[in-house]
Amino acid sequence: MKQQQSCKPRGFVSVFVLVAMVGAVLIATASLMQVTAQSRHASNGVSQQQVDLLFEAAIELAKSRLASQPKYDGESWQIEKKDSGLRKAAQVIVKIESNTDPNFRNVEVVVELGDDPAATIRDRRTWTISLPMSEQS
């Protein structure tokens, strides 16, 4: 009587394929997460440029208003996405406060960029600017 001996364990190929598939899924997931992070980083870079431009516009507006209206104390405005060419809607708040030196004013600007509260970029900056010579006492 001869006994058949099988030197191949049953199911080895199936286990090997399963492990290979799990490895491929892990690699694909890591790759997708990296692409998503790079995309978010690039999007935030564009958004930060828009925030910087809004700050620049707000400070220039404040300087010009202070030149023509010495009692100007600030304002706020909404910028709709469809009207402006921005990628996101924005809100800008300008506050003017007195300084210890009467020839200067403190300007605080708050910029909120985005409609979604979870993804809104909010930044606040403060400058001290001198009043135009005609307004200085």
Q: Please say if the pLDDT value at position 84 is more than 80.
A: no
Q: Which amino acid is at 53?
A: L
Q: What is the pTM of this model?
A: 0.62
What is the number of domains present in the chain?
1
**Tens of pLDDT, residues 10-26:** 688 888 889 999 999 99
Structural domain contains residue 117: yes
d(CA 129, CA 12): 76
Residue 61 domain-assigned (yes or no): yes
Residue 1 forms part of a structural domain = no
Residue 30 lies in a domain: yes
For the four alpha carbons of 72, 76, 80 and 86, in that order, the dihedral sign comes to: positive
Judge whether 123 lies within some domain: yes
Range of the domain at 64: 12-135
Which pLDDT score, from 0 to 100, does residue 74 have?
A: 93
Q: How far apart are CA 110 and CA 95, in angstroms?
A: 9
In this prediction, residue 65 carries a pLDDT of 92
Residue-averaged pLDDT of the chain: 83
Rg of the chain (C-alpha set): 30
Residue 7 in any domain: the answer is no
